[in-house]
């Protein structure tokens, strides 16, 4: 059923909440000033998420949110004027968004795919992308970005890269805390987390992991003495990496140097992702190699566990060997794409009332 809204702003915000964010954290709140002005209160998760150590991941998510608002506004022939308040803290950006009537604005066809766009962590078809699909995806990101494709036999090397990167992800206590809080066990859908049915494990492994992840002690014992990372890595990383049309890296032509660059990268990413959905393609993020490589390059400490920085350096070397040094250093996003059945389980979103200023911005 199509929802009827009294004013364009309500429709725009209702669609905007479907923008992607890490682990479905929805790291933003809306403050309505008037019918044509809303302030986006964003917050990053650097204090409790190892994957967002310097806030860049949340800034990319903010960019995806703003691009979703732009696309939604176009349906109403409205232009978005966006201004980030320079005085706001970097870990809590404030963005003024004004809706301006503009007859030259054409409805963006991507608006129809805002709510259906999702993550698919299951194996996809291996058929190559068609020329039409590839050209549409590359055109979607605009003139400031390139797309590096890894296809054919390169899928095996990417699978190996992801397998090694997943070892870091699954053996550091800092990541365990993120995974523990991000998964809603026993769920097919979740309003504010990732449901168990969507994470990509078979039912038996999922039940085992649910028990193991009740404490870090269990995780550590399982990993050290029972080769506990092997099955999750094979199911969550290797098999999906092999079963897809292609892996892609979204690369900025000018390396990102601050919050505005990462916001711009998020806007390009959302256009790419919505275009994939428009083409009937499925997508899964593969961000950990980029994250660990960037932490190594910038000498950011991300774990208290001995050897993790060294291992991140190995990931950085493998990533550069696969996509090139320049692309590795300017990469904004990495993922896989391919044809396949739509995901049967997915993350939903909080109702719009919960996303207004004054509601909690952290998980319990």
Q: Per-residue confidence at 184, pLDDT binned at 50, 70, 90?
A: very high
Q: Does 239 score more than 90 pLDDT? A: yes
Q: What is the mean pLDDT of residues 9-15?
A: 98
Mean pLDDT of all residues in 316-328: 97
| Selection from 164, 93, 185, 117 nearest residue 315 by Cα | 164
C-alpha angle with apex 74: 111 to 250, nearest 5 degrees? 60
Q: Residues 19-23: what's their mean pLDDT?
A: 97
Cα angle: 356, vertex 360, 362; to 5 degrees: 125
Whole-number pLDDT of residue 225? 81
Q: How much is the pLDDT for 1?
A: 45
Helix (H) or strand (E) holding 42: strand 37-42
Residue 54 pLDDT > 50, yes or no? yes
Tokens of 294: 């960037």
What is the C-alpha to C-alpha distance for residues 142 and 146, in angstroms, rounded to an integer? 8
Q: With CA atoms as reference, report the closest residue to 261 among 84, 107, 9.
A: 84
Confidence of residue 362 (pLDDT cuts 50, 70, 90): low
Q: Residue 9: pLDDT band by 50, 70, 90 thresholds?
A: very high
pLDDT one-digit tens code per residue, 94-123? 999 999 999 999 999 999 999 999 999 999
Three-state SS at 83? strand
State residue 15's pLDDT score: 98
Mean pLDDT across the chain, nearest whole number? 95
Q: Quick one: 151 exposed, middle or buried, by C-beta within 10 A (0-12, 13-18, 19+)?
A: middle
Segment 157-170 shows an average pLDDT of 96
Which pLDDT value is given to residue 361? 59
- From 26, 15, 68, select the one nearest 361 (Cα to Cα): 26
Task: For residue range 341-353, list pLDDT tens digits in order.
Answer: 999 999 999 999 9
Confidence grade of residue 2 (pLDDT, cut at 50, 70, 90)? low
The H-or-E segment that residue 44 falls in is none
Domains of the chain: 8-117 (3.40.109.10), 131-339 (3.40.109)
Residue 140 to residues 206, 256, 273, 275, Cα–Cα distance (Å) = 36, 19, 9, 7
- The two tokens of residue 351 are 């109702």
- pLDDT over 50 (residue 364): no
Residue 238 is classified by DSSP as: I
Q: Output the pLDDT for position 256.
A: 86
Q: What is the mean pLDDT of residues 267-283?
A: 98
């Amino acid at each position: 059923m199509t929802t009827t809204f009294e004013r364009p702003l309500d429709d725009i915000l209702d669609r905007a909440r479907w923008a992607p964010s890490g682990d479905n954290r929805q790291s933003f709140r809306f403050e309505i000033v008037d019918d044509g002005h809303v302030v986006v209160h964003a917050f990053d998760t650097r204090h409790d998420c190892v994957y967002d150590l310097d806030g860049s991941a949340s800034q990319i998510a903010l960019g995806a949110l703003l691009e979703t608002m732009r696309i939604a506004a176009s349906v109403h022939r409205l232009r978005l004027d966006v201004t980030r308040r320079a005085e706001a803290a970097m870990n809590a950006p404030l963005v003024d968004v004004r809706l301006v009537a503009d007859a030259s604005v054409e409805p963006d066809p991507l608006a129809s795919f805002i709510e259906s766009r999702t993550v698919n962590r299951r194996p996809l078809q291996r058929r190559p992308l068609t020329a039409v699909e590839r050209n549409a995806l590359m055109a979607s990101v605009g003139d400031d970005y390139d797309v590096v494709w890894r296809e054919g036999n390169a899928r095996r090397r990417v699978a190996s890269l992801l397998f090694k990167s997943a070892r870091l992800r699954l053996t550091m206590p800092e990541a365990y805390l993120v995974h523990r809080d991000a998964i809603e066990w026993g769920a097919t859908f979740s309003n504010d987390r990732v449901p168990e049915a969507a994470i990509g494990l078979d039912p038996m492994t999922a039940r085992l992991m649910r028990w193991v992840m009740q404490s870090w002690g269990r995780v550590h014992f399982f990993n050290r003495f029972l080769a506990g990372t092997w099955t999750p890595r094979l199911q969550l990383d290797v098999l999906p990496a092999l079963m897809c049309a292609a892996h892609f890296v979204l690369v900025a032509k000018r390396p990102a140097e601050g919050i505005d660059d990462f916001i711009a990268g998020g806007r390009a990413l959302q256009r790419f992702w919505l275009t994939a959905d428009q083409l009937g393609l499925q997508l899964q993020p593969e961000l950990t190699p980029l994250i660990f490589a960037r932490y190594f390059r910038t000498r950011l400490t991300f774990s208290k566990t001995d050897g993790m920085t060294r291992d991140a350096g190995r990931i950085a070397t493998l990533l550069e060997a696969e996509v090139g040094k320049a692309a590795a250093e300017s990469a904004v996003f990495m993922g896989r794409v391919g044809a396949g059945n739509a995901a049967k389980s997915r993350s939903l979103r909080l109702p719009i009332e919960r996303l207004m200023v004054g509601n909690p911005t952290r998980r319990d």
